[in-house]
């Protein structure tokens, strides 16, 4: 028997969308998705099975925490692989919907080497918390890389390798007709093998779902595209602007604008000249790539699929993850 809440309008709406079984199993009625303690996740007829007993958490396992939950390091005992386990509260409809979109995004990411891959997920029988198990990226995010570098910048060849993987991850999402909507350093992970992968698909959306969704204010204002800042709908090019902001920051060692106060930030994003790298200081191909990403007019800004062919990210040197791995290892010495 599903557990139903009190009969006010909001709760009736939720009970029509979500059902909670006696064992804690969550069922999303419109999509048929199910998250259970024993069967894991069932979505579109596919089963992604994992349970708490499959995981052995590290002694000091906390990798990060935030409003959305806690991320812990663990070992997936059946395979011996190290994994990251994201634990989230799903005690209201909004959080459950976000979980649904994140899991759908992870399913769409399957097989793409530039998007974080997942194992499965389950709901804990005793707490009602949902645990999503993904691959562990052992160097954390590009925000962590920025902290390690201080005011130093990423060298051009290594930046080309990062940019190439970031753009190809966005191109994969574009091919699936998905918008990421929150590209920022904290949502781009990397590891000691020189791999760079987008993560956090909790607010990703299907472009075809509705124009109202595409116009919703989400994401992080610091990396927001101009069309989003003024309240217009956005598309794949909005993710490209955000990627350009990330690459500018890595190239220069600093955020491109002198303020993070929203009113002043709005002026920087929507009115003042777009950020540009100094061609006398930086590689011309890098300057051109960042300039194309940071073109204010969304219709003139290329999408990720087009940018894959840019010389800065398609050259053989940009594909040399071993060179990036060697440089990243040197930072840890």
Summarize pLDDT for 190-202 with one digit per residue, the tens: 999 999 999 987 5
How far apart CA 288 and CA 304 sit, in angstroms, is 15
Contact 39, 49 (CB under 8 A): yes
**pLDDT for the residue numbered 209:** 45
How far apart CA 315 and CA 292 sit, in angstroms, is 17
**pLDDT for the residue numbered 62:** 82
Q: Is residue 213 predicted with pLDDT exceeding 50?
A: no
**pLDDT for the residue numbered 234:** 77
Contact 141, 70 (CB under 8 A): no
Residues with Cβ < 8 Å from 227, sequence gap 6 or more? Answer: 233, 234, 238, 298
Task: Provide the residue count of the chain.
Answer: 333
pLDDT tens digit sequence for 228-257: 999 888 789 999 999 999 999 999 999 999
pTM higher than the cut 0.95? no
pLDDT tier at 13, thresholds 50, 70, 90: low
Contact 24, 37 (CB under 8 A): yes
Mean pLDDT of 17-38: 92
Contact 329, 192 (CB under 8 A): yes
Contact 101, 205 (CB under 8 A): yes
**Among residues of the chain, what percentage have pLDDT more than 70?**
89
Half-sphere exposure of 200 (CA within 13 A, CB side): 19
All structural domains of the chain, each given as residue ranges with its CATH number in brackets, are 9-135 (3.30.200.20), 142-332 (1.10.510.10)
Q: Is residue 12 predicted with pLDDT exceeding 70?
A: no
**Among residues of the chain, what percentage have pLDDT more than 90?**
67
Residues with catalytic function: 182
Mean pLDDT of 26-46: 92
Q: Is residue 10 predicted with pLDDT exceeding 80?
A: no
| HEC per residue, 159-176 | HHHHHHHHHHHHHHHHHC
Mean pLDDT of 123-133: 92
**pLDDT for the residue numbered 208:** 47
Mean pLDDT of 62-87: 87
How far apart CA 70 and CA 59 sit, in angstroms, is 15
How far apart CA 234 and CA 57 sit, in angstroms, is 40
Look over the chain and give the mean of its residue pLDDT values, rounded to a whole number. Answer: 88
Q: How many CB atoms lie within 10 A of CB 317?
A: 13
């Amino acid at each position: 028997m599903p557990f139903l809440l009190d009969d006010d309008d909001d709760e009736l709406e939720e009970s029509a969308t979500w059902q909670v079984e006696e064992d804690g199993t969550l069922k999303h009625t419109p999509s048929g998705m199910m998250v259970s303690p024993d069967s894991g996740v069932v979505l579109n007829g596919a089963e992604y099975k994992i349970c708490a007993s499959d995981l052995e958490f590290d002694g000091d396992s906390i990798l990060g925490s935030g409003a959305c939950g806690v991320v812990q390091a663990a070992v997936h005992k059946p395979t011996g692989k190290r994994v990251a386990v994201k634990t989230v509260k799903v005690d209201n409809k909004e959080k459950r919907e976000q979980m649904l979109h994140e899991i759908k995004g992870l399913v769409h990411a399957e097989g793409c080497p530039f998007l974080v891959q997942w194992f499965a997920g389950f709901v804990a029988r005793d707490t009602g918390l949902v645990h999503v198990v993904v691959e562990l990226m052992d160097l954390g995010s590009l925000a962590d890389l920025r902290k390690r570098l201080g005011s130093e910048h990423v060298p051009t060849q290594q930046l080309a390798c990062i940019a190439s993987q970031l753009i190809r991850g966005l191109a994969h999402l574009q091919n699936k007709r998905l918008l990421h909507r929150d590209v920022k350093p904290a949502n781009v992970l990397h590891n000691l093998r020189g791999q760079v992968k987008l993560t956090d698909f909790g607010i990703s959306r299907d472009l075809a779902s509705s124009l109202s969704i595409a116009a919703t204010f989400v994401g992080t204002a610091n990396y927001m595209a101009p069309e989003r800042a003024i309240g217009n709908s956005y598309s794949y090019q909005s993710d490209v602007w955000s990627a350009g902001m990330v690459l500018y920051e890595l190239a220069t060692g600093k955020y491109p604008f002198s303020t993070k106060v929203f009113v002043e930030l709005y002026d920087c994003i929507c009115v003042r000249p777009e950020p540009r790298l100094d061609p006398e200081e930086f590689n011309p191909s890098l300057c051109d790539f960042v300039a194309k990403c940071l073109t204010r007019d969304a219709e003139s800004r290329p999408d990720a699929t087009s940018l894959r062919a840019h010389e800065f990210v398609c050259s053989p040197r940009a594909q040399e993850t071993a060179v990036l791995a060697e440089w990243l290892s040197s930072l840890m010495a």
